[in-house]
A and B are shown apart, each in its own frame.
Chain A
Amino acid sequence: MIPASFDYHRPSDMDGVIALLKEHGDDARVLAGGHSLIPMMKLRMAEVPHLIDLQSIESLRGISINGSRVTIGAMVTQHDIINHSELTKVAPIMRETSLQIADPQVRYMGTVGGNVANGDPGNDMPGLMQCLDATLHLVGPDGTREVAARDYYEAAYVTAREEDEVLTAISFDAPSGGYSYEKQKRKIGDYATAAAAVTIQTSGGKVSSASIAMTNLSDVPVWSEAAADALVGTACDADAIKAAVNAMLDDIDPTEDNRGPVAFKRHVAGIILTRAITRAWDRA
């Protein structure tokens, strides 16, 4: 648990970050809260000769809410989200999810950017971002661009982000209606055995639209359009939920690990989604 040696940089603006990324190429990586990257460096699974700390870049902090449009800076921590009352008012699912991430100590440091950008299938924010149809804002040597969260994740730790790009913020339209983030884990501080993000809008006592995404049940987050579609036009009765669960099960691809074998994970995924839908429907 002793990292290899590295140079530490702490630029004060984005231009400085981009310049360093350009200069060092593959040898450089940005550091946010460090709660994924530093363990990897200590295990020598990640070798980062140039570490670029984002802590001094004020433009990456801050949560802004413009009508229903929410923009969250990459360096906003999970702790910040939990304590932001305005955000909780417009998009309570952000707080509900953050409270189920890790433990308070980790949440003081762990950032939205690090959680979303990294492409770790265990992270909870990517699935949530897909559920919310969020936009990821990237900046690189060639300027800024936007990528939909639903297009961002390609494989474990492989994303649409180029090596020299930095995530500056995420934004999304706060969903109306019911919501739920439901997660099963082995203990506080553990990644999900299975987790589900669900939003539901209703009209006339029926589901008018819905969105469903699952966490840690594939090498990428799984936004299951078919599962959501199965709910539309129903009153979330048992059959509708069953149909949604079956559709979701077609989309996930869990692997066996210490949390348990595939059959168990698939079963729990179904239970967790059932509970998430039920709760979201009750809140809609």
Chain B
Amino acid sequence: MKDLNEDQVARSANLKGMGCSRKRVEDARFTQGKGNYVDDVKLPGMLHGDFVRSPYAHARIKSIDTSKAMAVDGVIAVLTAADLAPLNLHWMPTLAGDKQMVLADGKVLFQGQEVAFVVAKDRFIAADAVELVEVDYEELPVIVNPFEALQSDVVLREDIADQKEGAHGPRKHHNHIFTWEAGEEAATNDVIDNAEVVATETMYYHRTHPCPLETCGSVASMDKVNGKLTVWGTFQAPHVVRTVASLLSGIEEHNIRVISPDIGGGFGNKVGVYPGYVCSIVASIVTGKPVKWIEDRMENLMSTAFARDYWMTGKIAATKDGKITGLHCHVTADHGAFDACADPTKFPAGFMNICTGSYDIPTAYLAVDGVYTNKAPGGVSYRCSFRVTEAVYFIERMIEVLAIELNMDAAELRRINFIKKDQFPYQSALGWEYDSGDYHTAWDKALKAVDYEGLRKEQAERVEAFKRGETRSLMGIGLSFFTEIVGAGPVKNCDILGMGMFDSCEIRIHPTGSAIARLGTISQGQGHATTFAQILASEIGLPADSITIEEGDTDTAPYGLGTYGSRSTPVAGAATALAGRKIRAKAQMIAAYLLEVHDDDLEWDIDRFVVKGAPERFKTMKEIAYAAYNQAIPGVEPGLEAVSYYDPPNMTYPFGAYVCVMDIDVDTGVQTIRRFYALDDCGTRINPMIIEGQVHGGLTEALAVALGQEIAYDDMGNVKTGTLMDFFLPTAWEVPNYETDHTVTPSPHHPIGAKGVGESPHVGGVPCFSNAVNDAFRAFGNRHTHMPHDHWRIWQTANKLGLHG
């Protein structure tokens, strides 16, 4: 970039464009209680819905008696599957090509499953009536273990028991969903069989839940006079919801308006379509009144999209010097009762095939078997961007295990296997083209920042002191280097229910030089209203403060696939930049007319077009905007608007290097995080402060998952962690002071070089915390222990290693 003069610096600063830590414009309303969430939607005559849920994980429903509930004053309706069946709405398609019961049809398959929907005049009456619905259950054998499910005679999904072919190919067993493969099986086995060194490990990435601050909910309002249905809801993909609602209900899409108001955190939990949404819509159609459904915390934890639940077995082959030659990965994926993942159609295991990580691994093979069990459905959520979290956890643990096998330093092992800067774009053995990266630079910077050598020395001294009985505390150094794959995605590869995964932006410039831009995405805390205005400010030269960003109303926003998988900036951000460039192109024509020069005689200068070589002759964007509306310009339409739909040519591949230093009390299992350093490379940085906020949030969620947060079931399929007493949400007290850092490797194919960062800290953080715990015990013969590393499990590790004397 040219050096800017003083005037240019001032004008540029005035825009608050890209690279500026602009304060979040959303925060004024959030911090003052002026947000507008679904539960704030209150309509005249609104009714309230509440669910009767199954106490059993697997049971046949012999009868449902709603008469006592119906007799309660104020109860309007009690819907069961029998009521929905004539409308063919007792089941609904999932985003993964499976189908799911809206209300229990003959049997229940997980604890907390929706059985009946009570509609009443107020929320309290609805809850009272729920207690009065009498359901006669006959308990059936419960399966909560996917390996057992694949052996068992018990048929979980009777509706598809005889189907040998599922949405993703052949089914091997009545509780099997799909097998998905990538890479070369025979070649990989060959490499492993002939390798100098092979490390093998099985790791369970436990089931957990994103637990957004706001639970899920919807308000449906059917206007029978105009034939219009309006639905407010916690939707991370409002347009997809509109399309699904139209397909399910038969109401034409133009008569459905879906609105995502403010959303209090999503993390993938709000991508799917839930029975509550469907029931509120049906109830509104039936009653002609608006119907609200808001779930409580326990319902959210027990029944909405979980995360993970992957059993991963890896074999990694290397030379004696540590050069990795092959990787084999098999996953048994527990999907619960229905396959309700929100993966792109062709990827039933998401992008698990990014599991070769940041390493140049010439040969690899991955197979994933999806399995039904008596647990809640879901699967893709929690900042996990399509199983990238699982993949990165897998490879970052396998690297550590290999380092043990080789008796090598794990940082060095990573270094010698990194894909080199000059290898990009890099074709991975499992089918991805990594767009860009500079791993060695990032790694060296990170290790230097934490004085890695010094840490290892201190750790070795601690081990000696421990052995001498001078301390009961061990020290773990957690390393993680991750490569993400975000920004789904090229329409040719990626669709959801047939909808290509493009995204969009529509801009209108107002005559006085301010603007509104609408996008197909929807913020749930990411700060879109702040950052997208910054992209535009830099592209069109109007101050970010003069640009309104609006999302989430399908009647006004252009079609888009929504916000999840860190796709907003890579896809909608690109659409925004390109729509901005269309505005600028037209503005150039207008400026040329006004300045009476040829278009090509003008050059763009921050917020204006300047006549080349005559800097005193210019038109600012503000002046041009006015002219666009008040001057008749030959050959140019009035107005200043643009739309862009962006189909990305490739995903983007953010990466980062994390280091965690942890002290572990061997006697109590209590861990203390002494230090956490996070270097992120998300390409061009739009708003450094928002990036830092995303990193802090994601790391905290990663800490939670690694150190205690789980959705645990007992053998009867009862959820053991259904309240925040047992479901671990860290507080400020448990969270360390994170040190954040960065390098910048712009994406070569993205219009502004940005890559997406919302999920990186979670993806890279979980293995980093986990590696720290495992590393603390390495000197005593530990290879691998499963997460979550809560006190008793850490204690158990120490106990098994004989460290309690």
Q: Is the CB of A186 within 8 A of B708?
A: yes
Q: Is A157 an interface residue (CB 8 A)?
A: no
Q: Is A190 an interface residue (CB 8 A)?
A: yes
Q: Is the CB of A258 within 8 A of B734?
A: no
**Chain A positions within 8 Å of B793 at CB level:** 260
Q: Is the CB of A260 within 8 A of B728?
A: no
Q: Is the CB of B667 within 8 A of A264?
A: no
Q: Is B128 an interface residue (CB 8 A)?
A: yes
Q: Known: A1-B296, A2-B124, A267-B804. Is A186-B733 also a contact (CB below 8 A)?
A: no
Q: Known: A2-B123, A186-B708, A187-B731. Is A264-B796 also a contact (CB below 8 A)?
A: yes
Q: Is the CB of A259 within 8 A of B792?
A: yes
Contact for B731 among A189, A267, A268, CB less than 8 A: A189
Q: Which among A187, A188, A191 has the highest number of chain B CB atoms within 10 Å?
A: A187
Q: Is the CB of A4 within 8 A of B128?
A: yes
A185: nearest chain-B partner, CB-CB: B791
Majority secondary structure, A binding face: loop
**Chain A positions within 8 Å of B753 at CB level:** none
Q: Is the CB of B795 within 8 A of A186?
A: no
Q: Is the CB of A187 within 8 A of B728?
A: yes
Q: Is the CB of A271 within 8 A of B790?
A: no
Q: Which among B708, B725, B730, B799 has the highest number of chain A CB atoms within 10 Å?
A: B725
Considering the complex, which residues of chain B in the window 164-209 have a beta carbon less than 8 Å from any beta carbon of chain A?
Answer: none
**Chain B positions within 8 Å of A258 at CB level:** 712, 720-721, 726
Q: Known: A2-B127, A4-B128. Is A261-B297 also a contact (CB below 8 A)?
A: no
Q: Is the CB of A271 within 8 A of B667?
A: yes
**Chain A positions within 8 Å of B92 at CB level:** none
Q: Is the CB of B668 within 8 A of A268?
A: yes
Q: Is B673 an interface residue (CB 8 A)?
A: no
Question: In the assembled complex, how far is the CB of residue B719 from the closest CB belonging to chain A, in whole angstroms?
Answer: 11
Question: In the assembled complex, how far is the CB of residue B216 from the closest CB belonging to chain A, in whole angstroms?
Answer: 14
Considering the complex, which residues of chain A in the window 240-284 have a beta carbon less than 8 Å from any beta carbon of chain B?
Answer: 258-261, 263-264, 267-268, 271-272
**Chain A positions within 8 Å of B730 at CB level:** 187
Q: Is B447 an interface residue (CB 8 A)?
A: no
Apart from the given pairs A260-B791, A267-B799, 12 other A-B contacts in the complex at a CB distance below 8 Å = A2-B124, A5-B124, A184-B668, A184-B791, A186-B708, A186-B791, A187-B731, A187-B733, A188-B733, A258-B726, A260-B792, A268-B668
Q: Is A201 an interface residue (CB 8 A)?
A: no
Q: Known: A186-B728, A189-B731. Is A1-B791 also a contact (CB below 8 A)?
A: no
Q: How many residues of A contact B (CB 8 A)?
A: 24
Question: In the assembled complex, how far is the CB of residue A4 from the closest CB belonging to chain B, in whole angstroms?
Answer: 6
**Chain A positions within 8 Å of B720 at CB level:** 258
A256: nearest chain-B partner, CB-CB: B792
Q: Is the CB of B128 within 8 A of A5?
A: yes
Q: Is the CB of A261 within 8 A of B734?
A: no
Q: Is B670 an interface residue (CB 8 A)?
A: yes
Q: How far is the CA of A26 from the CA of B126 in the complex (A)?
A: 26
Q: How far is the CA of A44 from the CA of B127 in the complex (A)?
A: 10
Q: Known: A2-B123, A186-B791. Is A267-B728 also a contact (CB below 8 A)?
A: no
A259: nearest chain-B partner, CB-CB: B792
Considering the complex, which residues of chain A in the window 164-201 have a beta carbon less than 8 Å from any beta carbon of chain B?
Answer: 184, 186-191, 193
Q: How far is the CA of A190 from the CA of B790 in the complex (A)?
A: 14
Question: In the assembled complex, how far is the CB of residue B720 from the closest CB belonging to chain A, in whole angstroms?
Answer: 6
Residues of chain A at the chain B interface (Cβ within 8 Å): 1-2, 4-5, 44, 103, 184, 186-191, 193, 258-261, 263-264, 267-268, 271-272
Q: Is the CB of B124 within 8 A of A259?
A: no
Question: In the assembled complex, how far is the CB of residue B179 from the closest CB belonging to chain A, in whole angstroms?
Answer: 34
**Chain A positions within 8 Å of B296 at CB level:** 1-2
Contact for A264 among B298, B721, B792, CB less than 8 A: B792
- What are 18 A-B pairs with beta-carbon distances under 8 A? A1-B298, A2-B50, A2-B123, A186-B708, A187-B708, A187-B728, A187-B731, A189-B731, A258-B720, A261-B792, A263-B799, A264-B795, A264-B796, A267-B667, A267-B799, A267-B804, A268-B791, A272-B668
Considering the complex, which residues of chain B in the window 577-631 have a beta carbon less than 8 Å from any beta carbon of chain A?
Answer: none
Q: Is the CB of A188 within 8 A of B791?
A: no
Q: Is the CB of B792 within 8 A of A44?
A: no
**Chain B positions within 8 Å of A44 at CB level:** 131
Considering the complex, which residues of chain B in the window 219-274 have a beta carbon less than 8 Å from any beta carbon of chain A?
Answer: none
Q: Is B350 an interface residue (CB 8 A)?
A: no
Q: Is the CB of B725 within 8 A of A190?
A: yes
Q: How far is the CA of A259 from the CA of B131 in the complex (A)?
A: 31
Q: How far is the CA of A2 from the CA of B730 in the complex (A)?
A: 26
| Count of inter-chain pairs, beta carbons less than 8 A | 67
Q: How many residues of B contact A (CB 8 A)?
A: 34
Q: How far is the CA of A258 from the CA of B131 in the complex (A)?
A: 28
Question: In the assembled complex, how far is the CB of residue B167 from the closest CB belonging to chain A, in whole angstroms?
Answer: 36
Q: How far is the CA of A86 from the CA of B124 in the complex (A)?
A: 46
Q: Is B562 an interface residue (CB 8 A)?
A: no
**Chain B positions within 8 Å of A187 at CB level:** 708, 728-731, 733-734
Question: In the assembled complex, how far is the CB of residue A69 from the closest CB belonging to chain B, in whole angstroms?
Answer: 35
Per-position 1/0 for B560-584, Cβ under 8 A of A? 0000000000000000000000000
**Chain B positions within 8 Å of A4 at CB level:** 127-128, 131
B704: nearest chain-A partner, CB-CB: A187
Q: Is B357 an interface residue (CB 8 A)?
A: no
Q: Which among A188, A258, A259 has the highest number of chain B CB atoms within 10 Å?
A: A258
Question: In the assembled complex, how far is the CB of residue A38 from the closest CB belonging to chain B, in whole angstroms?
Answer: 14
Q: How far is the CA of A150 from the CA of B790 in the complex (A)?
A: 33
Q: Is the CB of B297 within 8 A of A1?
A: yes
Question: In the assembled complex, how far is the CB of residue B39 from the closest CB belonging to chain A, in whole angstroms?
Answer: 13
Q: Is B669 an interface residue (CB 8 A)?
A: yes
**Chain B positions within 8 Å of A264 at CB level:** 669, 791-792, 795-796
What 6 pairs across the A-B complex have the smallest Cβ distances?
Answer: A260-B792, A2-B127, A1-B296, A188-B733, A264-B792, A258-B726
Q: How far is the CA of A188 from the CA of B728 in the complex (A)?
A: 10
Question: In the assembled complex, how far is the CB of residue A278 from the closest CB belonging to chain B, in whole angstroms?
Answer: 13
Q: Is the CB of A184 within 8 A of B670?
A: yes
Q: Known: A186-B708, A187-B733, A188-B731. Is A193-B721 also a contact (CB below 8 A)?
A: no
B712: nearest chain-A partner, CB-CB: A258
**Chain A positions within 8 Å of B726 at CB level:** 258
Question: In the assembled complex, how far is the CB of residue A106 from the closest CB belonging to chain B, in whole angstroms?
Answer: 12
**Chain B positions within 8 Å of A186 at CB level:** 708, 728, 790-791
Q: How far is the CA of A191 from the CA of B723 in the complex (A)?
A: 14
**Chain A positions within 8 Å of B725 at CB level:** 190-191
Q: How far is the CA of A258 from the CA of B791 in the complex (A)?
A: 11
**Chain A positions within 8 Å of B667 at CB level:** 267-268, 271
Considering the complex, which residues of chain B in the window 684-736 have a beta carbon less than 8 Å from any beta carbon of chain A?
Answer: 708, 712, 720-721, 725-726, 728-731, 733-734
Q: How far is the CA of A258 from the CA of B719 in the complex (A)?
A: 11
B721: nearest chain-A partner, CB-CB: A258
Q: Which among A184, A271, A272 has the highest number of chain B CB atoms within 10 Å?
A: A271
Q: How far is the CA of A263 from the CA of B796 in the complex (A)?
A: 9
**Chain A positions within 8 Å of B731 at CB level:** 103, 187-189
Considering the complex, which residues of chain B in the window 117-158 have a beta carbon less than 8 Å from any beta carbon of chain A?
Answer: 123-124, 126-128, 131
Q: Is the CB of B795 within 8 A of A260?
A: yes
Per-position 1/0 for B775-795, Cβ under 8 A of A? 000000000000000111101
A103: nearest chain-B partner, CB-CB: B731
Q: Is the CB of B804 within 8 A of A259?
A: no
**Chain B positions within 8 Å of A1 at CB level:** 296-298
A270: nearest chain-B partner, CB-CB: B667
Q: How far is the CA of A7 from the CA of B726 in the complex (A)?
A: 31
**Chain B positions within 8 Å of A103 at CB level:** 731
Q: How far is the CA of A272 from the CA of B668 in the complex (A)?
A: 9
**Chain B positions within 8 Å of A191 at CB level:** 725
Question: In the assembled complex, how far is the CB of residue A84 from the closest CB belonging to chain B, in whole angstroms?
Answer: 24
A5: nearest chain-B partner, CB-CB: B124
**Chain A positions within 8 Å of B123 at CB level:** 2
Question: In the assembled complex, how far is the CB of residue A46 from the closest CB belonging to chain B, in whole angstroms?
Answer: 14
Q: How far is the CA of A5 from the CA of B733 in the complex (A)?
A: 37
Q: How far is the CA of A103 from the CA of B733 in the complex (A)?
A: 10
Q: Which among B728, B729, B792 has the highest number of chain A CB atoms within 10 Å?
A: B792
Q: How far is the CA of A260 from the CA of B789 in the complex (A)?
A: 12
Per-position 1/0 for B43-61, Cβ under 8 A of A? 0000000100000000000
